[in-house]
Amino acid sequence: MLRVDVSKRLGDFSIEASFASEGRVTGLFGASGAGKTSLINMIAGLLRPDRGVIAIDDETLDDTNARTHVAVHRRRIGYVFQDARLFPHLDVRQNLDYGRRMNGLAEDGAQRTRVTDLLDIGNLLDRRPGRLSGGERQRVALGRALLSQPRLLLLDEPLGSLDDERKEEILPYLVRLRDEAGIPMVYVSHDAAEMRQLATQIVMLQRGRITAFGGAEVLPTALARA
Amino acid sequence: MEWTAILLSLRVATVATLVATPLGIAVAWLLARREFWGKSVADAAIHLPLVLPPVVTGYLLLLTFGRRGAVGAWLADHLGIVFAFRWTGAALACGIMSFPLLVRPIRLSIEAVDRRLEQAAGTLGAAPWRVFLTVTLPLALPGVLAGMVLGFAKAIGEFGATITFVSNIPGETQTISSAIYSLIQTPDGDAAALRLVVVSIVIAMAALVASEWFARRALRRLHGN
C-alpha cells in the first residue's frame, strides 16, 4: 500500500495531494503541467515535500513532522523516466547490472534471464545505448529498474517520447510486467487509453490537486466514444 | 647537466600532476555541483596563480613553506617534510602554478554531465559517492585527461615561482627552464641551451598529441558503441 499526503510549492505552482492506493498499478492521470512528475519525484525522493507524509506499507519515507526523509538511494523504488536515461558509457548488460551492483545483491542469472526474456532484450546485451532505437532504450530502462529489485516501480510517461507504432510495441510488455512481475507500480500518463489498459486504480490530477480517485470509470470517456 | 635537468623536470611535473589531480577533481566537483559560502572567493583564489606575477607566488611559497615559514616549519618538525630548496618544493610550486589549468577543463566537463543520469543512478540504489565514481567521473573523463595534460605541460615549463621558491640547484631544483636560463648566461652555453629548447618543444608537442588522442578515445567510448 502506497500512502501519499503532501504539499509542495514550486514557484507560483503548488501541489496538494492526498491518496492511498492498494492497486497493482496506480495510474496518475492528468494533463501536462498538472504536477504528475513532481508528485512521483517526491515518491522517489528526488524532490522533498514542504509538508506531509509518504509511506509504503508501514515504512515511512517522508514525514516532515518527524523530519524523516529517506535518501533516494535507500528507498528501493525503481524509476523509469520518459527519456530512459541509460548510462551512455555502459553497454546494455552493464546498464541492466547497475542496480544489482549498487545494492550489493548477489548475481542472479535466472532473474536476469527472466527479465530479459520478458522484455525481449536478450539480443541487445552487448550494445551501447547510442545504438538502440527509442523503443529498445525504453525496454532496457524498464529492465534496469526491475533488476534493482524495487518494492515499487514508478513509470513517468514511459511511452511519451515514442511514436504510436513504438507505443504499441511497448504496451504489451507493460501489461506483462503488471501481471507477471508482482511489483506494484505507479504509472504516470496523460493518455486515457493507456490508463484504461494498465491502471487498476486511478488518481486524477488537475493543477496540482486531486480531482477524482477510483477505477477506470473516473477517466474521461467522451473522447474515447467519439 | 642537460639529462639531469630533463629527468628532474619530468619527475617534478609528473609528481605535481599526479598529486594535484585528485585534489583538482574534488575542487572541480565542488565548484561545479555545490553552492557554499565563499564560493566565488575560493574560485578566485584558485585562479590567482594564473594572474599573479610568478615571482610573487614563489615568494609567498617561500614565506609559507620555507624552513621558517608557518607551514614549512611545522611540516619539517612534525613530519620531516622539507620543501625549501628541494625538488619536492619545485613540485609544489609547479602544482600550484598549474592548478587553475588543471581544474578548469575538469570543472567544465563535470558541469556538462547530465544530472538526470545522476538522478537515475540514485534511484537504482547508488549512494552519492558511488554515483560520482560510476557515472559522473567516467563521463567527465575527457575533461580530466585534458586537465592533466594541460597541468603537466604548464608544470614542465614553470620557471618564475620555482626559481624564486627553491632556487636553481643543479641536480636538485634545476629544471629544464632554469637550466636554459643558466646556460644562456654561461659563455659557450648556447648549444646546450638550444638542445634543451628542442627537448621542451618535443615534450610539449607529445603532451598535446597525447591529450588529443585520449580525448578522442574517451569520446568514442562515451558516445559511440
Task: For residue A51, list its beta bridge partners.
Answer: A7
Three-class SS state of B80:
coil
CB contact B12 to A (< 8 Å): no
Q: Report the side by side order of strands in the sheet with A25-29.
A: A68-69, A59-63, A51-56, A2-10, A13-21, A209-214, A201-206, A25-29, A185-189, A152-156, A77-80
pTM above 0.80, yes or no: yes
Q: Do residues B94 and B152 touch, judged by C-beta distance below 8 A? A: no
- The CATH number of domain A23-47+73-205+216-225 is 3.30.70.1380: no
- List chain B residues with CB under 8 Å of A85: 114, 116-117, 119-120
Counting residues of chain A whose pLDDT is more than 70, the rounded percentage is 97
- List chain B residues with CB under 8 Å of A88: 117, 139, 222-223
**How many Å apart are CA B160 and CA A171, to the nearest integer?**
67
Contact between A87 and B123 using a beta-carbon 8 Å cutoff: no
pLDDT(B134) > 90: yes
Q: Do residues A155 and A178 touch, judged by C-beta distance below 8 A? A: no
DSSP conformational letter for A22: -
* H/E segment holding residue A16: strand A13-21
Query: What digits encode the pLDDT tens for the residues A3-21?
Result: 999 999 998 899 999 999 9
- Region B55-65: mean pLDDT is 94
Counting residues of chain B whose pLDDT is more than 70, the rounded percentage is 98
Query: What digits encode the pLDDT tens for the residues B200-213?
Result: 999 888 888 888 88
Contact between B123 and A127 using a beta-carbon 8 Å cutoff: no
pLDDT(A49) > 70: yes
| CATH classification for the domain delimited by B2-223, as one of 3.40.50.12780, 1.10.3720.10, 3.40.980.10, 3.40.50.10800 | 1.10.3720.10
Query: What digits encode the pLDDT tens for the residues B140-182?
Result: 998 899 899 989 999 998 999 999 999 999 989 999 999 999 9
- List chain B residues with CB under 8 Å of A140: none
Domain spans, chain A: 23-47+73-205+216-225
Domain spans, chain B: 2-223
φ, ψ dihedrals at B85, nearest 5°: 60, 25
> Could you tell me if residue A116 is left (phi over 0), alpha (psi between -120 and 50 degrees) or otherwise beta?
alpha
pLDDT value of residue A167: 82
Lowest mean pLDDT among A62-66, A205-209, B10-14, B66-70: B66-70
CB contact B40 to A (< 8 Å): no
- Per DSSP, helices labelled H in chain A are 36-44, 92-102, 109-119, 134-147, 164-180, 192-198, 222-225
pLDDT(A32) > 90: no
pLDDT(B68) > 70: yes
